[in-house]
Amino acid sequence: MTKNLNPKTAIVTGSSRGIGRAIAVLLASKGFNVTVNCSSNIADAEKVVKEIEKSGGHAIAVLANVADATAAANIFEQTEKAFGEADVLVNTAGVIAIKPVADTDDATYDRLMDINVKGTFNMLRLASKRLRDNGRIINFSTSALVTNMAGYAIYNASKAAVEAMTRTLSKELAKRKITVNAVAPGAVATELFFQGKTHSFVDQLIRMIPLGRIGEVDDIAPVVAFLASPEAGWISGQTLRVNGAVG
């Protein structure tokens, strides 16, 4: 655990498992107070908190669906109550569905847009008012935007919206020295990634990766930690694709 006499605070949405969990744990190891957010299983979030505390860090768990504006506001309120104003927001919460446009029903479309777009928007709107000056915002997109594979149209549309908000918000918050960037992972070995995919489809994806393997959460978390650091203070409005040289 990195000792920090003036700890900063990070909110990581969707951080009870997968990439979000790895980010929360890594930021805590670097001295951040961390708010671990989940939308359904608070027990998983509390396990992450216990892991952080066992290593000497400080964290809280907050159950909230970011697609709900009131619930999203509660994430900031609970964070401020525990640690004071936040310095970093990482918008990891997201869902995926791989279906051809012709087979996509309204419920699937609405779920992708509600969580990936509206959820990110809700947190960005709050962060624009409540994040400390010199803060950091890191959104999550996808490298599927550069592969244009069949079945990804609606998911990609939701993440294209995230990238658009990232670029514009970086200019809106520049006077306060708050940077806004996005990380766009390629295929990463998480429960969310493997959901609904056959072995043959996963093998097909691996063959598309020039570096010859699926990513791991530990390939992504350090990139986020860098963007959250003082060293990244002149990087803003960018999307960093971390994908094994896919594109």
The answer to whether 153 touches 209, Cβ cutoff 8 Å, is no
For the residues 166-183, what does the mean pLDDT come to?
98
Looking at 65, 155, 183, 243, which residue is catalytic?
A: 155
Residues in contact with 46: Cβ distance below 8 Å, sequence separation at least 6, in sequence order: 61
> 179-233, pLDDT tens digit by residue?
999 999 999 999 878 877 888 988 988 999 999 999 999 999 999 999 999 999 9
The token pair at 42 is 């608070």
The token pair at 170 is 């970086």
Residues in contact with 112: Cβ distance below 8 Å, sequence separation at least 6, in sequence order: 95, 96, 97, 154, 155, 158
> What are the boundaries of each domain within the chain?
9-242
pLDDT of residue 215: 96
The answer to whether 76 touches 126, Cβ cutoff 8 Å, is yes
pLDDT of residue 192: 78
pLDDT of residue 230: 97
CB hemisphere CA count around 170 (13 angstroms): 18
pLDDT of residue 47: 98
Nearest-10 Cα torsion for 232, 144, 168, 220 = -20
Q: Is 155 a catalytic residue?
A: yes
pLDDT of residue 197: 83
> 71-125, pLDDT tens digit by residue?
999 999 999 999 999 999 999 999 999 999 999 999 999 999 999 999 999 999 9
pLDDT of residue 193: 82
Q: Cβ–Cβ contacts within 10 Å for residue 171, how many?
A: 11
Q: What is the C-alpha separation between 9 and 131, in angstroms, rounded?
A: 10
Taking alpha carbons only, the member of 43, 34, 38 closest to residue 14 is: 38
pLDDT of residue 234: 98
> 34-76, pLDDT tens digit by residue?
999 999 999 999 999 999 999 999 999 999 999 999 999 999 9
Segments in the chain forming alpha helices (H): 18-29, 42-54, 69-83, 106-112, 120-130, 144-147, 153-172, 191-194, 199-207, 217-227
For the residues 137-147, what does the mean pLDDT come to?
97
On the question of pLDDT at 138 being above 80, the answer is yes
Residues in contact with 108: Cβ distance below 8 Å, sequence separation at least 6, in sequence order: 97, 99, 154
Q: What is the C-alpha separation between 189 and 18, in angstroms, rounded?
A: 8
Q: Give the CATH number of domain 9-242.
A: 3.40.50.720
**Beta strands in 33-170, from DSSP E residues, in sequence order:** 33-38, 59-63, 88-91, 136-140
Q: How many residues does the chain have?
A: 247
The token pair at 131 is 């994040």
User: In this prediction, what percent of the chain has a pLDDT beyond 90?
Assistant: 91
The whole-model pTM stands at 0.95
The answer to whether 24 touches 80, Cβ cutoff 8 Å, is no
